[in-house]
Structure 1
Amino acid sequence: MRLRHKPWAKEKLEQYPQYVISNPEELKGKWDNVFELSQPLHVEIGTGKGRFISEMAKANPQINYLGIELQESVIVSALDRLIEAEVPNVKLLNANAFDLPKFFEKGEISRVYLNFSDPWPKVRHEKRRLTYKSFLEIYEQLLPNQGEIHFKTDNQGLFEYSLMSFSKYGMLLNYVSLDLHNSDYEGNIMTEYEEKFSKKGNRIYRCEVQFQ
């Protein structure tokens, strides 16, 4: 799907510093100061239009949330959602996941969410997949010991690849669902893509994995 360019997006993001983090390098080791309350920080990498992160923040006020998205023209839609939601425990960051070690100390992030990440199906693009080993190394640097990644996708190939990648990295599989919406899992919050794909009859895959 072609992304529609929004030349005004950058300017709008700069107009809302109460929601959009502009100086992440300066916050390394100080993320507690960003939010109203000092509490665990959960991060969604590839937050898209922000439905998941904003609804999670509403449902779990005892947790702080940060939605990270690379594309300005996408994250600006997440900003609109946050402005409407008016929840104090969620922020946004327009950044590349490769740069996260520049922004966080070990253990500052309590959990990572990967929802409907780009599958990059071609073999030559394997290193771009957010569940590739180099990204797992990054997450391990940021999470506490035995920290968790929660992963959802409708792409069976990416899910199978990711399970293999997690296993090769030596991670523990704590939960695996091959058909989330027909499982007994409670408390699922859908992303925009999840709702769209599930209405088409696509099966949703989900897992929770843990570093050892």
Structure 2
Amino acid sequence: MRIRNKPWAMDYLEEHSHIVDITNAYEKNIHDFFEEEQPLHIEIGTGMGTFITELAKRNPDINYLGIELDKNIIIRVVEKIVEMDLKNVRLVLLDANFISDYILPDTASKIYLNFSDPWPKTRHAKRRLTHQTFLSRYESILKPGCAIQFKTDNRGLFEYSLQSLNAYGMKFEEIILDLHEEEPEDNIRTEYEEKFSGNGSKIFFLKASF
């Protein structure tokens, strides 16, 4: 999905600073960003926000933080949050490389990785969000024993992720090679998921804990 550059993006985000942090104002203090202190789940790479906003709607007793690097994309998520009047979703404009600087250790209860960039070239492996460097950052901010949930249409990235998580010593709780064959009732389809599935691609899924 190609997103056009919006010259007014930063002005819009500044006007909605109660929803999106663009200045690292809540670094190491993320609970103050929410109206209530509740368990925290994090989605890294929000897409257009369908997944995280629907999760928040279904689970008002959980706080959701969306991390997104592209200001033009995060605007779409802000718009959904405003339209749905969600109090338990907040966003931060942030490079995932700095997630463990922004979030204190033992803070989050779950991390979602949905249709991350596969970075197919071998020399770019360290950029994949399931590389061991990122796994170390996730382990730091997650409470002990908590999980990562991962979905992709890219078989190469899925196979790499299985190997990476296994080498890191993670425990696989669930592995599904075709999520839509018998789709779970609680599955929330992202925009990319709808697109790829509609084109005939299988959706791969895994859940693993530290």
Is the 2:26–2:32 contact (alpha carbons within 8 Å) kept by the matching residues of 1?
no
Q: In the alignment, is the contact (CA less than 8 A) between 2:27 and 2:101 conserved in 1?
A: no
Q: Aligned in 2, Cα 1:77/1:102: closer, same or farther, shift over 3 Å?
A: same
Q: Is the 8 A contact 2:26 2:33 kept in 1?
A: no
Using the alignment, how far apart are the partners of 2:95 and 2:78 within structure 1?
Answer: 17
State the alpha-carbon separation in 2 of the partners of residues 20 and 2 from structure 1: 22
Matches within 5 A, 1:53-72: 53-72=52-71
- Segments of 4+ moved more than 6 angstroms: none
Q: Deviations over 1:115-154 (max 9, x none)?
A: 0000000111111100011000110111011121000011
Which aligned pairs between 1:46-195 and structure 2 lie closer than 5 A? 46-183=45-182, 185-195=184-194
1:27 Cα deviation from its structure 2 partner: 3.8
The answer on whether the counterparts of 1:177 and 1:183 sit within 8 Å (CA) in structure 2 is no
- TM-score between the two structures when normalised by the length of structure 2: 0.95
Structure 1: where are the runs of 5+ without partners?
A: none
Distance 1:87 1:26, change over 3 A: closer
The 2-side partners of 1:114 and 1:95 are apart by 15
Alpha-carbon deviation of 1:75? 0.9
Match of 1:151, SS state, is: strand
How many angstroms apart in 2 are the aligned matches of 1:25 and 1:138?
A: 20
Contact 1:126 1:132 in 2 (8 A): yes
Counterparts of 1:56 and 1:2 in 2: how far apart (Å)? 25
Matches within 5 A, 1:22-37: 22-24=22-24, 26-28=26-28, 30-37=29-36
User: Quick one: distance in 2 between partners of 1:52 and 1:9?
Assistant: 22
C-alpha distance in 1 between matches for 2:18 and 2:3: 26
Percentage of pairs with the same residue = 49
- The Cα RMSD (Å) is 1.4
Q: Count matched residues.
A: 210
When normalised by structure 1's length, the TM-score is 0.94
Does the Cα contact within 8 Å between 1:25 and 1:103 map onto a contact in 2?
no
Per-residue CA deviation, residues 151-204 of structure 1 (Å, 9 max, x unaligned), is 001111111110110000000000011011113533001111001111111111
Measure the CA separation in 1 of the matches of 2:75 and 2:135: 27
Q: Which amino acid aligns with 2:60?
A: P
Letter in 1 for 2:13: L
**Which residue pairs with 2:198 in the alignment?**
199
Structure 1: how far apart are the matches of 2:163 and 2:184?
23
Unaligned runs of 5+ in 2: none
Query: Does the 8 Å contact 1:40/1:63 carry over to 2?
Result: yes
Deviates more, 1:113-122 or 1:92-101: 92-101
The alpha-carbon deviation at position 110 of structure 1 amounts to 1.0
